[in-house]
Structure 1
Amino acid sequence: MEYFDILNEASDNVGLKFDQDKYDQFMLYKDLIKEWNEKINLTAIKEDEAIVQKHFIDSMKVFKFDQLKNAKNVIDIGTGGGFPGIPMKIIKPEVNIVLLDSLNKRIIFLNEVINRLDLKNIKAIHGRAEDFAQEKQYREKFDVAVSRAVANLTVLSEYCIPYVKVGGYFVAMKGPAVEEEIKLSKNAIRMLGGQIEHIEKVQIEGSDLKHNLVIIKKISQTHKKYPRKAGMVAKVPLF
């Protein structure tokens, strides 16, 4: 029960309920991360407390954005070890979640987590964000796209905004210094049909870590030429 109180506090602070079953799922997830991290590179964060704070609580903080609590369909792009998608699913089981990652080894891990935690209405898919965004079943089909992937906001927006239906949101999880990224990305976001709505500041319980949620509303359809072909998005960012 070492981490129950801090996870409960974090959950309470975003307005969601926590209980023993959710705690047990988080602890099993932690153990699976540590076990699989010996075989494949999931995370550089290996200590129990750091996994709880920097992965689990940080992921739960997306619910500081209230509209996300009403989202039915969410896609987590560049999910890696399942962040923020799996903690989101644990803390709010009603949401339908798609986890997308380009590395198949991670997808195998994520499927193991989904099975072992007995999670429902969640699936992990292997592929590039640029490719799946052109497929009819994924393009502009999600209430919210979330991403904690390591890429600048201009690049992330081209990966993520095409998945969001008009009226939905892209939530980019960013570190404490986002002002310059936001300034440089505004035109690209507009070209993709989005508009920055606000920045939600978050504090991680039990630490001095501070992060930001960049909330981007989808206000018009994304032109079918976006996202561009694999490799182009990062090599030649939109400005």
Structure 2
Amino acid sequence: MTISNEQLKTYGEEYGFSLTDRMVEQFGTYADTLLEWNQKMNLTAITQPDDIVIKHFLDSLMLLKSVPLQEGSSMIDVGTGAGFPSVPVKIARPDVDLTLLDSLNKRVTFLQALSQALGQENTAIHFRAEEAGRKPEYRERFDIATARAVADLAVLAEYCLPFVKVGGLFIALKGYDCEEEVAGAQKAIQLLGGKLEKVDRYVLPKENKRSVVVIQKISQTPAKYPRPSAKIAKSPL
């Protein structure tokens, strides 16, 4: 059960992405690898080929519609899981220097195998976000931190903004109706050195509605952040 190359190309064109044959081939490899590994570990509940194309691949690529990435940008995908949104982004933009961070070792093993299957030289690291965010080799070292996670934006901001260089971006992929969540995260964003730049909304095929929240890093994150995860969960900023 594999994804339709034609459909992927058609959707891509519809949303302004010119996918080469090589990129389409890589997306096919991604889908096959994801479904194969999904049989032995829980990576995704989305397993229908059409849904994988729309809800995983196209959804991830919307990041590129919102933000024109500089050539050779360094990106960290925080709590990346099965590699969304950053691995599809790298398929479309092979120049991106990608670090994949996840707290589960078996997912990191999958990400390493996936990177190899796709011919991508990614760095996959096994850490909790709040631990890695305090390490000098990762703190404020990236042009972009991204996350497509279910956590509230105020919580995500504390996990992600410490990784971003001043002048860089934190890009969160969220649901369509996120105004309240964005408004509630303003204090946290400010405290962590960020500033809300924009929220772009998209309607994908089959009425799948999504948002891309773009936050600019305007000053250094104070040294006391990120706090331990129990504290973040108990009292979000």
Question: Scaled by the length of structure 1, what TM-score is found?
Answer: 0.93
Q: Is the 8 A contact 1:102 1:127 kept in 2?
A: yes
Q: Distance in 2 between matches of 1:66 and 1:236?
A: 31
Deviations 1:68-119 (A, max 9, x none): 3546101110100110111111111011011101111111111111111111
**Shift of residue 15, structure 1, vs aligned partner:** 5.0
Alignment correspondent of 1:21: 22
Q: Distance in 1 between matches of 2:66 and 2:11?
A: 14
Q: Is the 8 A contact 1:29 1:117 kept in 2?
A: yes
Aligned sequence identity (%): 44
**Shift of residue 12, structure 1, vs aligned partner:** 4.1
Alignment correspondent of 1:179: 179
Alignment correspondent of 1:237: 236
Residues 71, 168 of structure 1: CA spacing in aligned structure 2 closer, same or farther, 3 A cutoff?
farther
**Shift of residue 207, structure 1, vs aligned partner:** 2.0
Q: Distance in 2 between matches of 1:123 and 1:9?
A: 31
**Shift of residue 137, structure 1, vs aligned partner:** 1.3
**Shift of residue 233, structure 1, vs aligned partner:** 1.4
Q: Distance in 1 between matches of 2:190 and 2:43?
A: 33
Alignment correspondent of 2:46: 45
Q: Is the 8 A contact 2:75 2:96 kept in 1?
A: yes
Q: Is the 8 A contact 2:71 2:95 kept in 1?
A: no
Alignment correspondent of 1:81: 82
Deviations 1:106-154 (A, max 9, x none): 111111111111112x111111110011111111111111100110000
Alignment correspondent of 2:150: 150
Q: Is the 8 A contact 1:14 1:63 kept in 2?
A: no
Q: Distance in 1 between matches of 2:80 and 2:152?
A: 16
Q: Distance in 2 between matches of 1:221 and 1:10?
A: 39
| Structure 2 gap ranges (5+) | none
Moved over 6 A (4+): none
Deviations 1:175-218 (A, max 9, x none): 011011011110011000001111111222x3211110111011
Structure 1 position 190 matched with structure 2 position 170: no
Residues 97, 59 of structure 1: CA spacing in aligned structure 2 closer, same or farther, 3 A cutoff?
same
Structure 1 position 123 matched with structure 2 position 123: yes
Deviations 1:45-86 (A, max 9, x none): 111111111001111110012333546101110100110111
Residues 154, 61 of structure 1: CA spacing in aligned structure 2 closer, same or farther, 3 A cutoff?
same
Q: Is the 8 A contact 2:164 2:170 kept in 1?
A: yes
Residues 2, 155 of structure 1: CA spacing in aligned structure 2 closer, same or farther, 3 A cutoff?
closer
Q: Distance in 1 between matches of 2:10 and 2:141?
A: 33
| Structure 1 gap ranges (5+) | none
Alignment correspondent of 2:113: 112
Q: Any residues of structure 2 matched to 1:207-226 within 5 Å, and which?
A: 207-226=206-225
Structure 1 position 55 matched with structure 2 position 56: yes
* Partner-residue secondary structure (3-state), 2:207: coil
Question: Scaled by the length of structure 2, what TM-score is found?
Answer: 0.94
Q: Distance in 2 between matches of 1:219 and 1:71?
A: 21
* Partner-residue secondary structure (3-state), 1:221: coil
